[in-house]
Chain A
Amino acid sequence: MMLLLLAWRNLWRNPNRSLITMASVWCAVVLAIAMSSLQKGVFDHLVANVVSFYTGYVQVHRVGYHSEQTLENSFLLTDSIQNAVLSSPGVASVTPRLEAFALASTGEKTKGCLVTGIAPESEDRVTRLRSKVVAGEYSGDSSQRILIAEGLAGRLQTGVGDTVILLGQGYYGATAAGKYAVGGILHFGSPDLNDQLVFLPLALAQHWLDAPGLATTLVVSPGRPADTEANAALLRAALPADFETLTWQEMMPDIYEHIQTDTASGAIILAVLYLLISFGIFATLLMMLAERQREFGMLVALGMKKWQLARMVMFESVFITLTGCLLGILVSIPLVWWLNRHPIRFGGEIAEIYERFGFEAVFPASLAPSIFWNQAIAVLVIGLLLSSYPVIKVLYLKPVEAMQA
């Protein structure tokens, strides 16, 4: 307690210097938090658009389906396989799909699309598909109508109540042809998905593809997205050997690599930022050390143990960095909240780049508490590391020489 009090008061011996040092930490922390939260916001948005709205965090297929997506690699959808997935630890919900590529046609317009047979109720629990309906109605399990993505509907110049012809290849080469009324229009944030998705109730899709009782995919929703890898590992162990379990990172390596690369470059920028302020803090600590040599000598002469003195110096370093950091976090909270509520929206080339990855160029800042804690921990570590030099100097201090300094 005595050391903490001494350390805190020592900071204010030269208030201008301490305030300037704290301000540099404050500035770095605000920049770091804003940058990290925007970066994480982008990735969360990407995952939310591309992963949770369609792919799902984890998928289970028959072995080989991921590399060759044909109906011949489908599996018989039994209660036992669905129950095996559902009973695996960490799995919140599961929904089956039967997927096939097809041509969608209305009048003179034809376009390639991805037709997905879904169980509408469980699909909504996993991907919140119902929330994407912008016109018409969401399907029931026994519905005979289809749902079509907004972009595709636009290209086909079709709307709710119109008829769309789907032409594809059914199970074992059978021709799959069907004529369906549009029951609802869906909007997806990802332009890629928005331009190609068509949904049918599962039974209707099985009938259209002549694949009764079959499914190509089980989409699994973990209780906590952060536990995706761990849950997938448990699923792999629990399911029969002729099933494959893939995480979204494995299914979409380009997006995952993009996130990893961007995260790494962000970390380098943060490291440079913190390196720069570290020099400032270090200079302050050196000045404090030089100015107080005689006092340190006097304290040791009086009977203060060197490790007590070293701890006091360490506290000073940590105080100066943590105070700046806490002030930075306090200022960052409303800033990040505002950036979350008013996301940055890019256009032009940047928007095109992101659209190539399949999502909107919208940048809402993330409010994840880990962003704030990570900065606090990083700054604490910097404070401790920087204090090592004065601590070593104190441990080797000779009181007589110090008092004569």
Chain B
Amino acid sequence: MPVIDVHNVSKIYNPETIPVYAVNNVHLHLERGEFTALVGPSGSGKTTLLNIIGGLDAPTEGQVVINGTDITRLTPNQLIQFRLHNIGFVFQSFNLIPVLTARENVEFIMLLQGAPKAERERRVNELMAAVGLSDKMDVRPAQLSGGQQQRVAVARALASKPQFILADEPTANLDSHSATNLLDMMAQLNRDEGMTFIFSTHDARVIERARRVITLVDGSIASDTASVDVAAGHK
């Protein structure tokens, strides 16, 4: 069973007057363990689609089924709860809570989940080590580089033990070296732990590494290609 099933989803702005199709009749299946990039020019609808998959935005038509749950039928409060336990997010910017340290930012999501203290501590240590920032535990975001902040955001996304991680332009504000490091780390998490990553991106470095690239044009899927070599390597 696909982890994410998008059935004929459309997002239409101004449906009564001049309809604008941000997402137009998208049909999509995403399997566990994918490392997929949603690409396309600005305004093509990739962030809107990512928001709909993440339950942050509601489609005008269609269904989004995640692990058997149709999230378009959930109430706003149920959606918040669903996101907390099933979906990890990495945003382009404004990712971390500036008044919390790196450790507290990662722990925050587990606090919301009501995880016990011992488990929180153990997992924070594991995740900070996994993203290579064990020495930056007690540093606030303002004292971290952009790349380090995104790594903390990935650690936080993983902390909730999600079904998949949605990353909206995660490398957009990073220099080349930081972007490469971040993508290496994400690819490793995907390879070693089978974590599903879905990116919305313009970045060629992300597209190069993706094993599946879905191209959106004017809200519709123009192409959906899998990299045979990488897919074969993954098997």
Contacts and interface: CB of A to CB of B under 8 A. Distances in A.
A and B part of one assembly:
yes
Interface in B123-154: none
Interface string A296-320: 0011111111101000000000000
Given A2-B108, A6-B100, A301 B54 contact: yes
Given A298-B94, A400-B57, A403-B91, A303 B99 contact: no
Contacts of B91: 298, 301, 403
A400 B94 CA distance: 13
A284 interface: no
B111 interface: yes
Interface residues of B, number: 25
A400 B51 contact: yes
B80 A305 contact: yes
Contacts of A236: none
Name which of B85, B99, B100, B156 has the most chain A CB atoms within 10 A of its CB.
B99
A12 B142 CA distance: 14
Contacts of A299: 97
A305 to B, nearest CB: 6
Contacts of B80: 300, 303-306
Contact of B84 (A9, A12, A303): A303
A236 B70 CA distance: 73
A304 B112 contact: yes
B231 interface: no
B147 to A, nearest CB: 19
B100 A301 contact: no
Name which of A294, A301, A308 has the most chain B CB atoms within 10 A of its CB.
A301
A302 B100 CA distance: 15
A13 B97 CA distance: 11
Contacts of A294: 94
B23 to A, nearest CB: 13
Given A294-B94, A400-B51, A403-B91, A302 B99 contact: no
Given A302-B156, A303-B83, 16 more contacts: A6-B100, A13-B98, A295-B94, A298-B91, A302-B83, A302-B108, A302-B109, A303-B81, A303-B85, A303-B160, A304-B80, A306-B77, A306-B80, A308-B112, A400-B56, A400-B57
Interface of B: 51, 54, 56-57, 77, 80-81, 83-85, 89, 91, 94-95, 97-100, 108-109, 111-113, 156, 160
- What are the 6 A-B residue pairs with the smallest beta carbon separation, nearest first? A303-B84, A9-B99, A294-B94, A303-B83, A400-B57, A400-B56
